[in-house]
Structure 1
Amino acid sequence: MNLRIHKWAIVKRLCYLSLFASVLACGYTDDSINKPPVDVSVTPPNGNTPTLPAAADCDCPVDTPVASTPPTAFARTLIIGNSIMLHLPLPNVGWPYSHGMAASAPQADFVHLLTANLQRVLPSASVTLANGGDFERAYWTYDLSQLDNAFVSKPNLVIVRISENINDKLVDANNFGVHYKRLLDYIAAHSAPDAKIVCSTSFWNNPKSDAVIRTIAAERGYAVACLCKLVGRPEYMATQFTNPGVAAHPNDKGMAEIARILWAQIQ
C-alpha cells in the first residue's frame, strides 16, 4: 500500500514538472497578450548603475506632443524586452508577481498601457512579447534563431525595448554596435515588409550603449524612444521595494512615462 502511494506521488510530481516545462516552453496568455516567460537577473550588471546621467550623455530630442492626425493602426505588435517588460515571480527578492517589474499591477506596466492604446485604435490588435534579455547579456554569441517563433506572425510593429542588461563597460570590447545592427537586420528580414521598428534607450545609466542605439537607429531611419530623462530619478523608480535590484526598476509613474514616450514614437 505504501509502495503504491509512493509511486502515485512520483507520477503526480512528474505531471507537475511536465506541466511547468510546457508553460516555460510555450508561454501563456494574459489579457490577450502572449507572454513568454522571462527569467533574468534583477541586479544591474557591473557598469550599469541607475544613477543620474551626465548632461553630455543625455541626448534626448525635444519632447513634443503627439501629432493630432489619426493614429496608425498596427494589427500585430511584437515587443522585445526584459524584466521591465515581464518578470515571473521571484519571491527571494520580494517580487511575487508576473508582469513588468516593478509595476504595482499588470495594468500599470508599459506593455498593458501600450496595448490599451493600440487596441483603442484597432480592437483586434495583438501584442506578442519576446525575451531579449539573453541577447543583452551575451549579444556577441547570441543565436538570433531563438527569436524565430516570435516572428511567425510577421509583425508590422516591432518595439526593441532592451538595453538595461548590457554591460556598458564592455560595449566597445564586445562590438555591441555590430551585433545590434545584426539584430535589427534580423528584425527587418522577419517582419512584415512595411513594418515599423521602434528602438529604445535604457532606463538605467548606459551612455555608451545608448549612444550606439541612437546612432544606428538614425542611420536606418528608425524611431528612438529616448528614456534618458527618466534615468536615476527617484520619482520614476520603485523605491517601495527593499531589494535594490527590484527598486531600480520603474514604478507606475515610470512605466507610464515609458509607455508615453514609446507611443509618441510609434505614432
Structure 2
Amino acid sequence: MKVIAWIGLFFCFLSCKSDEQGSEPIQKILVIGNSITYHPPDAAIGWNADWGMAASAPDKDYFSLLEDSLRYHLPELEMMRENVYPFERKFSSLDFAMYEHLKDFQADLLVIRLGENVPLENLEGWNFSQSLREFAAFLSSGQTRVLLTTTFWPNTAVNDQLLHAAAEMNWQVVQLSQLGAQDSFMALEEYSNESVGRHPNDQGMQSISRLIAGKILGE
C-alpha cells in the first residue's frame, strides 16, 4: 500500500507542476532574433557560414543546440527561426506584414532573443517595449506563450525596454547579459573582424541554449 501511495504522490507532483506552468505540451516554437540566431554568409565581414554567428558549426549555434535539447523531451517538436534585424532597426515604423509567414507558423511558444541592434538614439519613453508587444501580438495565435531574453552584451537602456515589455505582458524572462560581459563566452580570437568575433563562441552558444531550455522545461 505504501508503494501505491508513493506512486500516486509522484504522479500528483508531475500533474501539479504541469498545472503551475499553465500550459499545454509545446508543439511549435518560433525563435526571433538577429545575427546571434542566424546570419547568412557575408564575405565582406569574413563570415562564410550559414548559421548563428559565430558558432563553429551549424549544430553548435544556440538554436540548433536548443532544438536538440528540447526534442529529447518533446520528440514531435517543430522549431523555426528568423533573423528580424529590420524590426530592431525600424521598430517604430516597420510593416509587420513582411513577417506574415512567421504568423502563419502558429507557434505555441515565441522566443524573443534580440535587442543588440536597437538604435539607442531612437528610444523614447517605452516606445520599443510597446512596439515589441505589438510585434509579439502579431506573431501570436492568441494562445502563444512568450519567453524573452535580455541582450547578450550588457545594454541597460535596451534591457529596461525588454523587461518592461515582459512585466507588462507577464512573459517569462531569461537573463543573458552576464554572458556577454565575459570574454570567455565570445569568439574574439577566432575571427579577424571584431564585430563577428564579439558574437558568442561555442561555449557562449551552449550557455544561451542551456539557459533558455531550462526556463522552457521548468528546470
TM over 0.5: yes
Q: Which moved more, 1:245-254 or 1:204-213?
A: 204-213
More helix by share: 2
Aligned 8 A contact 2:54 2:200 in 1: yes
Q: Secondary structure in 1 aligned to 2:31?
A: strand
The one-character-per-residue Cα deviations of 1:96-138 (angstroms, maximum 9, x if unpaired) are 1001000000111000011012211122211111231110011
The Cα of 1:153 is off from its aligned counterpart by 2.6
Aligned 8 A contact 1:89 1:97 in 2: yes
Aligned 8 A contact 2:26 2:77 in 1: yes
Which of the two has higher C-alpha Rg? 1
Q: What corresponds to 1:220 in structure 2?
A: 169
Please give the alpha-carbon distance, in whole angstroms, between the structure 2 residues aligned to 1:214 and 1:117.
26
Aligned 8 A contact 1:158 1:197 in 2: yes
1:207 to 144, 156, 162: 156
The count of corresponding residues between Structure 1 and Structure 2 is 197
Gaps of 5+ in 1: 1-67
The one-character-per-residue Cα deviations of 1:31-50 (angstroms, maximum 9, x if unpaired) are xxxxxxxxxxxxxxxxxxxx
The one-character-per-residue Cα deviations of 1:190-210 (angstroms, maximum 9, x if unpaired) are 32x432210111112321110
Q: Secondary structure in 2 aligned to 1:250?
A: coil
Does 2:75 correspond to 1:126?
no
Q: Secondary structure in 1 aligned to 2:117?
A: coil
The one-character-per-residue Cα deviations of 1:6-39 (angstroms, maximum 9, x if unpaired) are xxxxxxxxxxxxxxxxxxxxxxxxxxxxxxxxxx
Please give the alpha-carbon distance, in whole angstroms, between the structure 2 residues aligned to 1:174 and 1:131.
23
Q: What corresponds to 2:143 in structure 1?
A: 194
Alignment of 1:117-266 (within 5 A): 117-172=69-124, 175-187=127-139, 190-191=140-141, 193-239=142-188, 240-266=190-216
- Pairwise CA RMSD: 2.1
Please give the alpha-carbon distance, in whole angstroms, between the structure 2 residues aligned to 1:131 and 1:87.
7
Please give the alpha-carbon distance, in whole angstroms, between the structure 1 residues aligned to 2:137 and 2:87.
14
Distance 1:157 1:138, change over 3 A: same
Q: Secondary structure in 1 aligned to 2:212?
A: helix
Aligned 8 A contact 2:39 2:83 in 1: no
Q: What letter matches 1:216 in structure 2?
A: A
The Cα of 1:75 is off from its aligned counterpart by 1.1
Q: What TM-score results when the alignment is normalised by the length of structure 2?
A: 0.83
The Cα of 1:73 is off from its aligned counterpart by 4.0
Please give the alpha-carbon distance, in whole angstroms, between the structure 2 residues aligned to 1:250 and 1:221.
28
Q: What letter matches 1:253 in structure 2?
A: Q
Please give the alpha-carbon distance, in whole angstroms, between the structure 2 residues aligned to 1:208 and 1:96.
32
Please give the alpha-carbon distance, in whole angstroms, between the structure 2 residues aligned to 1:159 and 1:132.
12
